[in-house]
Amino acid sequence: MVAPANQPLLQVSNLRIEFPTRRGTLVAVDDISFHIDPGEVLGVVGESGAGKSLTGAAIIGLLEPPGRIAGGQILFDGQRIDNLPYESMRRIRGKQIGAVFQDPLTSLNPLYSIGRQLIETITTHLPLSDSEARKRAIDLLAEVGIPSAERRIDQYPHQFSGGMRQRVVIALALCANPRLIVADEPTTALDVSIQAQIIALLKKLCREHGTAVMLVTHDMGVIAETADRVAVMYAGRIAEIGPARQVIKHALHPYTEGLMGSIPTVGADAERLVQIEGAMPRLTEIPAGCAYNPRCPKVFDRCRIERPEPVAVGPTGVACWLYAKEGPRG
């Protein structure tokens, strides 16, 4: 079944992720909604602990217990996938949805050659013989920029540099021509020049294959280079979501303004960058009202009492009382 052209490839609605503990239930992702269209890159950005990676894990069905989806739903190509049995989700993961993680060594088995891992993945999801799968594996390695792919396919993960291992992981994610890739901090462990190559590779995949990408990162520079739209997460909620250029150039939420102000600009003569005071609250200490209110330079009384829901301001959605229709109160 293929979704209609005007239907999002991925639709996340009111997603809630909880962690039951002896002291009570912790809410790690709290009622978030967003979509990704075919061929689109959605950047998901925020500080550590914002809930970005948990959201990605929920989408690919790899949420670690005791974490659980406690509310909402995830639709992929019009089909609900958050309530599927493990085996059904495993068939979708890999064939329809690929994953790229921050540390390539967690995705690669050090005891098997790169070729064996690629060929096993290809034959699991596609009706190809071993020889056809090997040819496809070599082609994939060449496509992701690994030189001498015919020779290197029989080497082991430890024989590759960090940047080359990440390319292999991207090749693994592409084995069955997935329609969506969830990339969780795919460039964090790499130096700047390799980062740029990986970003260019992801953009090429979107352009040539129509692959959609959910790009999870804390690096606004990566978002600016790669994403079509960006969702800014804070304390398990989406603070702002909209076209990347709009959010970067004209941030609405005070938290997004702080993130953008912390990016150094070539040619700017600012004496110092903007600094967001304080830290992300722990799950046990999320304040009432807007979770950002203890750190917000524009806070007023209503922010400390009522939690803002997202409102549309032009093409951007923002959860902030500054943009309430009746205006700030208190």
Average pLDDT for 79-86: 95
For 162, the 3-state DSSP assignment is helix
Kindly tell me if the per-residue pLDDT of 329 is higher than 60. Answer: no
Where residue 7 falls (left for φ over 0; alpha for ψ -120 to 50; beta otherwise) is: beta
pLDDT, tens digit (0-9, with 9 covering 90-100), for 223-277: 888 999 999 999 999 999 999 999 999 999 999 999 887 666 666 666 666 778 8
Of 232, 304, 310, nearest to 31 by C-alpha is 310
pLDDT of residue 105: 80
The pLDDT of residue 317: 97
**What does pLDDT average to over the chain?**
91
φ/ψ of residue 191, rounded to 5: -75, 165
Which amino acid would we find at residue 85?
A: P
The stretch 17-40 carries a mean pLDDT of 95
Dihedral sign (CA 73, 74, 79, 84): negative
| Assigned token pair, 232 | 């800014």
Q: Which long-range contacts (CB under 8 A, 24 or more apart) does 34-38 make?
A: 34/231, 34/238, 34/241, 35/8, 35/10, 35/11, 36/8, 36/9, 36/10, 36/180, 36/212, 36/213, 36/214, 37/8, 37/9, 37/212, 38/9, 38/179, 38/210, 38/212
Q: What is the mean pLDDT of residues 194-214?
A: 85
Confidence band, pLDDT 50/70/90 cuts, at residue 102: confident
**Within 13 A of 91's CA, how many CA atoms are on the CB side?**
5
**195 falls in which pLDDT band (50, 70, 90)?**
confident
CB 31 within 8 A of CB 69: no
Q: What is the DSSP string of 207-236?
A: HHH--EEEEEES-HHHHHHH-SEEEEEETT
For the beta carbon of residue 100, count every other beta carbon within 10 angstroms: 25
CA–CA gap between residue 51 and residue 238 (Å, rounded)? 10
Lowest-confidence pick of 126-130, 149-153, 179-183, 184-188? 184-188
Give the pLDDT band (50/70/90) at residue 326: low
CB hemisphere CA count around 48 (13 angstroms):
2
pLDDT of 29: 98
> Across 99-113, 204-218, 288-302, which has the greatest mean pLDDT?
288-302
Does residue 79 have a pLDDT over 50? yes
Q: Binning pLDDT at 50, 70 and 90, where does residue 213 land?
A: very high
- Which strand (E) or helix (H) includes residue 318? strand 316-318
pLDDT reading at 82 higher than 60: yes
Where are the alpha helices (H) located in the chain, listed in sequence order? 52-59, 86-95, 104-107, 114-125, 130-143, 149-152, 162-173, 192-209, 220-226, 244-249, 254-261, 301-305
- Confidence bin at 201 (pLDDT 50/70/90): confident
What's the pLDDT score for residue 264?
A: 66
Rounded Cα distance, 234 and 51, in Å: 8
> DSSP letters along 195-213, please?
HHHHHHHHHHHHHHH--EE
Confidence of residue 193 (pLDDT cuts 50, 70, 90): confident
Question: Which pair of structure tokens corresponds to residue 182?
Answer: 């969830």
- Contact between residue 174 and residue 145 where contact means Cβ atoms under 8 Å apart: no
pLDDT at 71 over 60: yes
- Kindly tell me if the per-residue pLDDT of 28 is higher than 70: yes
Average pLDDT over residues 45-49: 92
pLDDT (tens digit per residue) in 4-27:
557 899 999 999 999 999 989 999
Pick left, alpha or beta for residue 126 (phi over 0 → left; psi -120 to 50 → alpha; otherwise beta): beta
